[in-house]
Each structure stands twice: as structure tokens, then as C-alpha cells.
Amino acid sequence: MIIRNFGVRHGRRVLAAPAPRSFLRALSIRTPTTTVADPEAAPVSATQAAADARKRAVLLKAEIDRLPEEFRKYEAYQEQTKSLGSKLKFRYLPDEVLKRPPHDVTLEDLMAAQAHMGHHTSQWNPANSRYIYGEREGIHIISLETTAAHLRRAANVVESVAYHAGLILFVGNRKGHRPIVVRMAELAGACHLYQKWTPGAITNKDVILASGELRVVDELDRTLDGFDAFLRDSRPVSPDLVICLNPVENYPLLHECGLASIPTIGIIDTDADPTWVTYQIPANDDSLRSVALIAGVLGRAGERGRQRRLADAAEGKVAWTKPHAVQAFIQNHNSTCRSEALAKLEELAREGKLKVGEAEEIKQSFTEESEEEIKAQLGKRSE
């Protein structure tokens, strides 16, 4: 009780006493400021302040009025200096090569497409040493002069095969190869494959391609009728030339082409085996831009050969011969028609429906080209 009264009494005194000024300065967070009046500054009157405001308004209005003039000067300056500096003549577009493939390439085109970039030196195939220009930072550099020469040689092969009505197959089954092979097959009038190759499609084609659809065309690529019996019993066809954009993943295809003596064209990188294909094109097979450029040149070559063949066929010049199977079928069909026509002729002669010597005259004029016409005439006589 005594202690509590003591604390209450003295606590009131402590709270009632004023706090020292030093203690208040220590608790304050404000910085004291002192304003010193400039003895030389004269007081500004209201008239002077209004005049200064009007002057500033006039200057602001003059500056605003100068803006159109300055903008016109800026446009004139831009017009005068727009022709200075470098000019951007060509801009790369990813679909440009597919829409308008080139007929030929330059070293600059191959360099821009990164066709010279090979693989790491630890992954190289020694058989590609003749295609390698050098190495830089552990990467092999492919000689673009060699690439251009081999590409032109391959283009000549594709044009010649297309001119002689050969069947060309474009193969590319990596990611991004689908639009490339489809577009080039459209240009060359060829076939394309962008999925995995079915092993045995060439060596065992009678079983694997038994359900494939065939058709017989003339020199102008028009489908011919009357070959239903031939198509029903004929074997599946094999390509006359295979163009492979990624030979590393298509060894079974290239091996079957070698067994069937089918020539092949392939893009050979520094890690691939150049002996897998017949005509090598040393280049970077990992760059879609490089692959599209090379395939575009080959597609244009096939287009040129096809256009030349159709132009010559329109003038009566046929640069290819019939397949042996088709030729044999036509000969058998003609022989059958001839036999039927001669039998009908003899029957009409026995019935007395032909005049004396008319049967021999018809036999002498009977040729392979007029079999159908004579057969039709004999049918009319029998009626």
C-alpha cells in the first residue's frame, strides 16, 4: 500500500513537470529552416507581375505559331535526306523461296541461307573432306563453290529426267519439310513423300504397293482409256529419280534405290556418308532456308524439263519411248483385233456379202493404225 501511494504521487509530479528543450529537440524529426531576406530584392508590384505574365503569354503564343513552320522544315529535311545512307533492296521472307523458287543460285544466296555451316569437327565424315573449305570455332565450313557446282549438275539431271517423262520422287520427312516437298513436286509434276519411308516399297513393291492407283497417259499427260485390263494386271511402278533432302534419316530408302539401280540426289552435310547417293549436293541439311533454296532450284529444273517435253509433244516430237509392258499390251491388243477382223472378213466372204476381190483388197489395206476403222466397217457390212 505504501509503495503504491508513493508511485502514484511521484508519477503525477513527473508527468506534470515540463520536458526539457534538449529532450524535445532529440525527439523532433523536422529540420529547422531559417529564411533570410535579400536586402537588395525590391518588392514586386502588381503592375509589374501583370506585365511579366503578359510577356510570357506573348512568347508562348509566338512559339506555338512557329510549330507549323518548324514541322514543314522537318518534312522538307526528311525528303532531302531520305535517299542518303544504305538502301535495303531485299528483305528475307520465309515463304519467298516457296512462292517464287529461283532458277539458279549465287554464292551470296547460299551464304545467306547458311548452306556453308557444317557440323562440329568431332562429328565429321572423312569422306566429305573434299567438300570442306575449313573450320571456324570447331565448326566445319562447306565450300560454297563446290555446293554451287554440284547443285547445277543435279539440276541438269532433274531437267533431263523430267524431259524424258521420268517419274521423280521428292522425299523430306523432317519437321518443316512438308511444304517444301509438296511445292517442288507441284512444279516438277512429280511425286512427294513427307512421312516415314515404308521399308520394302521398292524391293517388295508388289505386296506393299498393291493397292496403289495407276493410270496410262499420252505424250501430253492426258489419261488414256481402254487400258483397264492392263492396269488390273500391271505391277506397281518405281521412281526413275529420287531426291532426298535428309539422307541421314532415309538410309533404307537409299539402300533400296541402290539395289534397284535408281539414281538418287541428296543433300550431304559434313556428318553424312556421300556414298549413299548418286549425285551429292554438299550443304547444310539442318537449315530449312538452305533446304528450301536447294529444293527450289531442283523443282525449277523439273519444271523446265516438263515444259520442254510438253512443248515438243505439241509439235509432234516425243522424247520418250513406251514402257515395255505397255508396248507388249498394245501389240497383244492389236493382234487380237486383227484376228477378230480377219475372222469376220472370212465369215462375210463365205456368206457372199463381199464382192469378188474385195476381201483381198481389204486385207492388203489392213494396218495396225486402221484396225478399229476396218472392224467398224465390217460390222456395218454384217448388218
Model confidence, pTM:
0.68
User: Does the residue 217 lie in any domain?
Assistant: yes
The rounded percent of the chain whose pLDDT value lies above 90 is 47
Number of domains the chain is built from: 2
- Average pLDDT rounded to a whole number, residues 296-314: 94
Residues 241 and 158: beta-carbon distance below 8 Å: yes
Residue 28 has pLDDT above 90, yes or no: no
- Summary mean pLDDT of the chain: 82
The rounded percent of the chain whose pLDDT value lies above 70 is 78
pLDDT bracket for residue 64 (50, 70, 90)? confident
Residue 68 has pLDDT above 60, yes or no: yes
User: Does the residue 374 lie in any domain?
Assistant: yes
| Final residue before a domain boundary, out of 280, 296, 314 | 314
pLDDT bracket for residue 378 (50, 70, 90)? very low
For 250, residues 6+ apart whose C-beta sits below 8 A from its C-beta are: 171, 173, 197, 244
Of 6-15, 17-26, 103-112, 356-365, give the range with the top mean pLDDT.
Answer: 103-112
Q: What is the C-alpha to C-alpha distance for residues 58 and 79, in angstroms, rounded to an integer?
A: 33
Same domain, 258 and 349: no
Which CATH number covers residue 273?
3.40.50.10490
Determine the pLDDT at residue 363. Answer: 62
Determine the pLDDT at residue 368. Answer: 46
- Lowest mean pLDDT, pick from 167-176, 299-308, 319-328, 354-363: 354-363
- Average pLDDT rounded to a whole number, residues 170-190: 95
Same domain, 304 and 349: no
Of 144-153, 210-219, 232-241, 320-329, give the range with the top mean pLDDT.
Answer: 144-153
Determine the pLDDT at residue 13. Answer: 60
Same domain, 116 and 211: yes
User: Does the residue 347 lie in any domain?
Assistant: yes
| Final residue before a domain boundary, out of 259, 286, 314 | 314
Same domain, 240 and 122: yes
Determine the pLDDT at residue 137. Answer: 92
Determine the pLDDT at residue 366. Answer: 58
User: Does the residue 157 lie in any domain?
Assistant: yes
Higher pLDDT, 134 or 379: 134
pLDDT bracket for residue 159 (50, 70, 90)? very high
Residues 139 and 160: beta-carbon distance below 8 Å: no
Same domain, 282 and 377: no
Determine the pLDDT at residue 88. Answer: 65
Burial (Cβ within 10 Å: 0-12, 13-18, ≥19) of residue 96: middle
Q: From the CB of residue 56, how many other CB atoms can be counted at a distance below 10 Å?
A: 10
| Final residue before a domain boundary, out of 254, 288, 314 | 314
User: Does the residue 11 lie in any domain?
Assistant: no
User: Does the residue 28 lie in any domain?
Assistant: no
Residue-range definition of the domain harbouring residue 263:
96-314
User: Does the residue 58 lie in any domain?
Assistant: no
Higher pLDDT, 118 or 39: 118
